[in-house]
Amino acid sequence: MPQTIDELKSIVISYDPKAKIADIHRAYTFAADAHKNQKRASGEPYIIHPLAAAITLAEMRLPDTLIIAALLHDVPEDTAKTIEEIEQEFGSEVSHLVAGITKLGKIKYRGVERYIENLRKMFLAMAEDVRVVIIKFADRLHNLETLDSIPPKKQYRIALESLEIFAPIANRLGMGEMKGRLEDAAFKYVLPKEYEWTKNLAQTVIRRSDSYLERAIVILQKDLQQAGLNIADVHGRTKHLYSLYKKLIKNERNIAHIYDIIALRVIVDTIADCYAVLGIIHGRWTPLKGRIKDYISQPKPNGYRSLHTTVFCEEGEIVEFQIRTKEMHENAEFGIAAHWSYDERKTTKNTKKDIAPVDWVNQLIDLQQDISDKKQYLKALDEVKIDIFKDRIFVFTPKGDVIDLPEDSTPVDLAYAIHTDIGNTCIAAKVNDANSPLDRPLKSGDMVEIIIDKNRKGPNPDWISSAKTRHAKSKIRQFARSKISNWIKGVIPNPFTKK
């Protein structure tokens, strides 16, 4: 069933009865008229695309201004109507948002330049108005969901770019649901076989879990009621496929090692209730050691808050529980967009919501100057020290791939992030075309070339102290261990004596 403007309007009315519904309808008519001679690659009328983007935003309960801007987002770039006409018709706030999306528009570069240009544009847009990037995500999501009708080469490029640029930024903005949807839609095109494999695996687990999860929910609800706790909601959530896939890869593709394919979420009123629920769950079922995570007292860098625990549940099955308040839940799903999402609990406009601080957004807003080249861009990134880069860096390979590493990572970390064999045989690195020691920390934006020697016998054990990632350290240790055991077994000569 194609989506309709009536559907959009009824979603908006459901969360904000005072929204400017007539303006939303007018924006729809304006856009439909402007795009009237255009079709999507699928042959459908063009208007289905801005409408879909607007509906995605309405599902996040965003204000009418964003909905209107989403409906108009492709008008200035693709039609005869101008941004000035939009301003006259819908006011300066809407036209400002639409202009922001248009600026993000087309990127003409290839390879590394393309990535840099893309990241630069995304960060600039965020600096000016984060809402522009939120609309852009909704736009990209619909494009990804309708990739089937465009040529395979273009499919792959758009999907890869979404995986490498859009999803990580959504993640940094705490938009968990958007990140998951972007990744899953892109995953299908970037790694089609792996996507099918993961999907089938997940479906088997989900089918099997129905009975014991249902029982667990009933038991838990009774326990919580008896304790006098008010539960807003208990529901099961299935892990997004791409994040499941990444976890499978880290765990030798063994699904038995992954406990959170399905998690039970318990939503309660207060933080005290969260801890009370945790106690009740542990009283009912035995927790697994080392799997209790308190992201309430120690939120994740992107602001995520929840209590996680994994228990031996009904029928001896291992089940993860995620316990949080409504506010935490909304922030986990919508992230920064939750700042604007309509909330009936808000009595006055300026009520401060229970939301993790996002200082770097303010710092970005201060960064108003126009950054025109790569050097200036990198310098500006250094200056703002935004949280996106506080604990993660993005470096580029000569082929233009973007690799996301923890801060202070070295070329050794990068080498192992690319492939264990690259790590084991790397001998030197070039950073921005200059020779660099393997243990010198990298910076965001560095272009790093790893030089390997296929004849190299293995990593230098000293690298363990300079490597930052657990992945690299464990690979280096693993190699050393296998060498020692081979030496003990007499397979190889003493590796610690020089030839």
CA angle 303, 305, 306 (to 5 degrees): 165
CA 57 to CA 51: how far, in whole Å? Answer: 10
- Using the rule CB under 5 A, is 330 a contact of Mn ion? no
458 vs 257, 422, 496, CA distance in Å? Answer: 29, 10, 12
Closest CA to 367 of 357, 358, 379, 353: 379
Which of 16, 23, 64, 77 is catalytic? The answer is 77
* Min dist. Cβ of residue 143 to Mn ion (A): 7
Which is closer to Mn ion, CB of 35 or CB of 475? 35
Which is closer to Mn ion, CB of 136 or CB of 475? 136
Stretch that binds Mn ion, among 132-140, 221-229, 263-271, 490-498 (CB under 5 A): 132-140
64 is catalytic: no
Phi, psi of 353 (to 5 degrees): -85, 160
- Length reported for the chain: 499
CA 152 to CA 350: how far, in whole Å? Answer: 48
Stretch that binds Mn ion, among 26-34, 72-80, 105-113, 314-322 (CB under 5 A): 72-80
77 is catalytic: yes
* Min dist. Cβ of residue 147 to Mn ion (A): 13
Residue type at position 456:
R
Residue indicated by tokens 């016998």: 457
* Min dist. Cβ of residue 41 to Mn ion (A): 12
* Min dist. Cβ of residue 253 to Mn ion (A): 37
Asked whether 58 and 12 are in contact (CB, 8 A), the reply is yes
Binding residues for Mn ion, total number by CB under 5 A: 2
Stretch that binds Mn ion, among 69-77, 188-196, 244-252, 448-456 (CB under 5 A): 69-77
Which is closer to Mn ion, CB of 121 or CB of 215? 121
Residue indicated by tokens 């025109």: 372
- Report DSSP state, residue 491: S
Which of 7, 59, 78, 113 is catalytic? The answer is 78
Which is closer to Mn ion, CB of 74 or CB of 387? 74
- Using the rule CB under 5 A, is 74 a contact of Mn ion? yes
CA 489 to CA 480: how far, in whole Å? Answer: 14
Stretch that binds Mn ion, among 131-139, 203-211, 324-332, 390-398 (CB under 5 A): 131-139
Among 16, 23, 64, 139, binds Mn ion (CB under 5 A): 139
Asked whether 127 and 104 are in contact (CB, 8 A), the reply is no
* Min dist. Cβ of residue 159 to Mn ion (A): 16
Which is closer to Mn ion, CB of 78 or CB of 404? 78
Asked whether 245 and 194 are in contact (CB, 8 A), the reply is yes
- Report DSSP state, residue 405: E
* Min dist. Cβ of residue 71 to Mn ion (A): 11
Asked whether 398 and 447 are in contact (CB, 8 A), the reply is yes
Stretch that binds Mn ion, among 68-76, 191-199, 216-224, 237-245 (CB under 5 A): 68-76
Which is closer to Mn ion, CB of 141 or CB of 450? 141
The pair of three-digit structure tokens given for residue 37, joined into one six-digit string: 């001679």
Query: So which residues are the catalytic ones?
Result: 77-78
Contacting residues toward Mn ion, per CB under 5 A: 74, 139
